[in-house]
Structure 1
Amino acid sequence: MKAGWAALALGLALSAPSVAMAQQTDRVLAEALFREGRELIEQDKVSEACAKFAESYRLDQALGTLINLALCHEKEGKTATAWAEFSDAASAAAAEKDDRESFARRHMASLEAELPRLRMVVAPDTESLPSLEIKLDGHAIGKAAWSTLLPIDPGDHVLVAGAEGKNPFEAKVVIGKGAGVTNVNVPPLEDAPKAIVVPPPPREEPPPSRSPQRTIGYAVGGVGVVGLVVGAAFGVSALSLKGDRDQRCTGGFCDQEGLEADRSARTNATISTVSFIAGGALLLGGAALVLTAKKTETANKVSLGVGPRGVLLGGSF
């Protein structure tokens, strides 16, 4: 516990000099800016002087700087700004029991008699909008202040009213010098155009897939066609070998080549017969599978026929 307190004390001791140094630097810079502001006032460069006083007061909130800033704004013609600054100066002087309170209050009273004021007259339909926001020169004005007489500096101002789903209303307001009230009417806000939603392009449906049964039918039929081709080839070979055998066999007797030709002819004839039977069966089975499969959007046509060189399978798919 003691170690913790010791560490805290050490941290505060180390940080205190840096904080004090930063504050001292701000005060030095504030004093330099204040003196530059006084010189600029003497040169009648009022706007530049006000900027110096404002920055000086930001760095060091000294009562004398605030009073000089108020006097500068009064000379610049920003009566409402000067009036508010004299009000702050009077309050600060009263808290410090400073004699400059009476000086600040006299200037307040003098300026108040010459203050121009702005009043916003908001249409009921607009005022009832839950998301309504009104800004004066970029600063939001709370609802409680809409109908209040707001002190305002002479010159050009911009008032903007906006709400969700509504077109914004903008008014340029010119405030003259001297006392007076300027009313700004905020009318009912028009509906903003609804965003045009472009529908996505229609999704292209993939072409209907072929039935698995149809695919199997084509495969089976293709094997059947191969069987028929094989049967035809072996049939032609058997006929050729039979011719060779007949030439080498007479009276029921055959030489060696005739016997071999006879055996080969019989073997090829058997293969041809089996191939024709199997190929025909497969071809008919494949055609049946294709014809009984579910039809797709595109009509499929299958034709089966016999040509001069064998069985023909054709169609459009």
Structure 2
Amino acid sequence: MRSLPALSALATALVLATSSVALAKPPGPAAPVSEADRKFDEALNAMKAGRYAEACPVFAESYQLDPQLGALFTLAECEYNWGKLVLAKTHYVAYLTGVGKLSPEERAKQSARERIAVLQRDTLVRDIPTLAVALREGTQPGGIVKRNGTVMTPDGTPVELDPGEYVIEWTPPVGDPSTRTVTLAIGKTERIELETPKVADDAPKPPPKPVSTGITPRRIATYATGGLAVVAVGTGTVLGILALGKKSDVDANCNGGLCSQDGLDALSSGRTLGWVSTGAFVVAGAAAAVSLILFFTEPRAAERTAPTTAIRF
């Protein structure tokens, strides 16, 4: 940290030199001094050896048992050297608040520590990094956000954190979870914006439209009537030929106006075949006429698809 090592060394030396000096105690009940002193000495020995992770929690216990300002200042120094800058700043501020409540005589005894605490506090205010986590605009609210495993609120507020690496876990209300890692350096401000990942559209899609073959119901009717005309012509032709065949039977079995039974039967069959043949040709003509009308009056493709323009006056 900028310019802090020398200052911290000076403050630590001051702590070690004055650790046995009795300090002013704020009013209020206190735990047995012997236990607080024992823990303070234990923590001080660990701090001298550079074992800050071991010393700082014990300093905190000593202060809780006997809340003296000297113990609070020493705790802040220990946390600073340990790299717990946010806690150190909090305890420097608490120490300065306590010193401000002392009488002039008692405050004078804290003058050296007070000067160091002010410098440390001001430096930490400038150098403690911050991290802001927010949901990007338009992101669906909800979900769970964690910072190093602890649930947090992604409201975009900058939060003071110790320098180091932080893992942001984002479990959105829809979509797959994601993880981002950010490294906070001294004096830096970082911001992370989270958004809901895009989700594949699993909604059922409408079936594809059938490909038009160009055969419309009208065209089918055209083909059907045309086919009927062809069949009717064929039927009429066959029946006409059969009717002509019956005429030869009539000629063979009739003499003048007299006919045998075979002649009468041939005459009756010939007349029936002739009538049916004529009817078939009539049907063929009508079907052919309808087919031609349907064919020549059917709209062409361009006419069927041409857009219409409506004009409103």
Judge same fold: TM > 0.5, yes or no. no
| TM-score computed with the length of structure 1 as normaliser | 0.44
Q: TM-score when scaled to structure 2?
A: 0.45
